[in-house]
Amino acid sequence: MKRYIFAIVSTTLFILPVLFLGPGGQAAERTAKGVKTEVNKLRVSIKVSGPTIQLGDLFTGTGDKADIAVAYTPEPGKRAVFDARWLYRIAHAYKLNWKPLGVNVRAVVERKSQAINPAEVAAEILSALVAKGADADMEIDMGNRLARIYVPDDAIAAVDVEDVSYDRQSGRFSAIFNAPAGSPTAKRHRVTGRLHKTTEIPVLNRRMLTDELITGKDIKWITVRSVRLQANTVTSDADLVGKSPRRGLRAGYPVLSSAVKRPVLVPKGSLVTLILQIPKMTLTARGKALQPGSDGDVIRVKNLQSSSVVEGEVIASGQVKVRLTTIVAMN
């Protein structure tokens, strides 16, 4: 057949007085009288819907033959390549004025489709597993067993979970689902995987340096597998807000309780205000901190007026609340 095609093309080149080449090996020719004869042109890249490829999808100027089905379309998400020999047979069978100019001429047909992501499939399977008794705060892991699923562009881009089974002790599951949802031609898929217990934890939303004060605006929440958390991982934002990193902390990572500290409100050697509250009266005095202290710490302070050493609770920056037992020492 290749020799036959080449023989036709070569003969045409020698006989026709004028030849105009077009894309895909098409030609427009003029007779000796100068009357133009229209030729069919090949579409080299085509996207189609539906189950069949029609003559009008491949060639222009097919008229009332345009709706004739000549091949099945590829599966959604895939493409089919038709070579010069096949295309010539089709053109010749339906009396189209087209001949390939070489063996490299081809038409690529792609089925119009839409993709269903693995995450969407996982969400549907997890919902079915929860209905079977699995905990809602679980993460589904299918490994890399499931790639994108392509369905026709006129179908519903969703899946129907047909059946699931789940072993609570091991966390392993299997599921069968159909795609696209609600289609009589839907394909069945089977996947296996494992469920993992998860925990929602607070993390920093930006990098923070040593002694910076952590506020509520510096925190975001993420979900992680529980088995990956260390025993001293911070799981409550109350254990972060108002504290400072002992050293620089990265954003988005679990924070250990040992990595943060309460900020020092009273540095050692700093001047502080000693406060004693008694019914209907508040007494104050100046003092010098003999120890550093954070909020709530009890530290030793030297009363600068009496030179006595008293103990008090740090209540704010530069402020120490003195215990009632120290009233004598302040005077």
Same domain for 204 and 256, yes or no, is: yes
Residue at which a domain ends, from 55, 90, 111: 111
Return the pLDDT at 23.
40
Residue 119 lies in a domain: no
Return the pLDDT at 143.
76
Residue 117 lies in a domain: no
**CATH assignment at residue 207:** 3.90.1210.10
Spell out the residues 6+ positions from residue 159 whose beta carbon is closer than 8 angstroms to its own: 116, 120, 121, 124, 149, 177, 178, 179, 180, 181, 189
Select from 45, 54, 109 the least CA-distant residue to 76: 109
Same domain for 187 and 203, yes or no, is: no
Q: What is the pTM of this model?
A: 0.60
Residue at which a domain ends, from 111, 135, 163: 111
pLDDT digits (tens, 9 = 90+) for 211-242: 888 999 999 999 999 989 999 999 999 999 98
Same domain for 185 and 208, yes or no, is: no
Return the pLDDT at 237.
93
pLDDT digits (tens, 9 = 90+) for 2-32: 333 333 332 222 222 222 233 444 444 444 4
Residue 323 lies in a domain: yes
| Beta carbons of 232 and 256 less than 8 angstroms apart | yes
pLDDT digits (tens, 9 = 90+) for 41-72: 999 999 998 899 999 999 999 999 999 999 99
Contacts 24+ apart (CB under 8 A), 280-287: 283/330, 285/330, 287/320
Mean pLDDT check: name the lowest of 11-20, 103-112, 180-189, 318-327.
Answer: 11-20
pLDDT over 70 at 35, yes or no: no
Same domain for 77 and 18, yes or no, is: yes
Same domain for 30 and 101, yes or no, is: yes
Residue 116 lies in a domain: no
Task: Look up the domain containing 169 and give its range.
Answer: 124-195
**CATH assignment at residue 272:** 2.30.30.760
Residue 118 lies in a domain: no
User: Domain count of the chain?
Assistant: 4
More confident residue, 9 or 136: 136
Residue 297 lies in a domain: yes
pLDDT digits (tens, 9 = 90+) for 235-285: 999 999 989 999 999 999 999 999 998 888 899 999 999 999 888 888 889
Residue 88 lies in a domain: yes
Contacts 24+ apart (CB under 8 A), 51-58: 53/80, 53/109, 55/90, 55/94, 55/96, 57/109, 58/82, 58/87, 58/90, 58/107, 58/109
Question: What mean pLDDT value characterizes the chain?
Answer: 84
Return the pLDDT at 211.
83
pLDDT digits (tens, 9 = 90+) for 118-134: 889 999 999 999 998 88
Count the Cβ atoms, other than its own, within 10 Å of residue 52. Answer: 13
Residue 325 lies in a domain: yes
Could you tell me the pLDDT band of residue 146, with boundaries at 50, 70 and 90?
confident
Return the pLDDT at 133.
86
Residue at which a domain ends, from 261, 289, 311: 261
The span from the CA of 272 to the CA of 329, in Å, is 16
